[in-house]
Amino acid sequence: MTPNAEITPAELKARLDAGPPIDVLDVREEWEHALGALPGARLIPMDELPRHLDELSRERELVVYCHHGIRSAAAVEWLRRQAIPALSLLGGIDAWAAEIDPGLPRY
């Protein structure tokens, strides 16, 4: 794992492939999620996170992503203050599409 509570696309892919399951959270807007999302990702737009905090596990690691990683880094900082073990996907779904799944649309 890289510093600053981040995980690279390659690290996330390896962990998803190896199991056990990791919770994945998309903090983008609905229209962005509709363009493409990581497999099994749950959508909670960033501004709605406080209303859904009690739905997130404090026992399982949570990987959070957005478009380029800016929103997810801010969300992870807030989630960690709420005792949620969260990591931000470095480079967001754009990096995932570039490095792991070129079939995902880039925008």
Please write the tens of the pLDDT for every residue from 23-69: 999 999 999 999 999 988 999 999 999 999 999 999 999 999 999 99
In the chain, the percentage of residues whose pLDDT exceeds 90 is: 89
Q: pTM of the full predicted structure? A: 0.93
Which candidate in 49, 66, 87, 89 is catalytic? 66
Better-scored residue on pLDDT, 3 or 8: 8
Q: Can you give the length of the chain in residues?
A: 107
Burial of residue 7 (CB within 10 Å: 0-12, 13-18, 19+) is buried
Query: Residue 93 is inside which H or E element, if any?
Result: helix 92-99
Burial of residue 5 (CB within 10 Å: 0-12, 13-18, 19+) is middle
Specify the CATH class of 6-99 in words: alpha beta
Domain boundaries, the chain: 6-99
Please check the confidence at residue 1 and state whether its pLDDT lies above 70: no
pLDDT band at 80 (very low <50, low <70, confident <90, very high): very high
Instruction: Check if 66 is active-site.
Output: yes
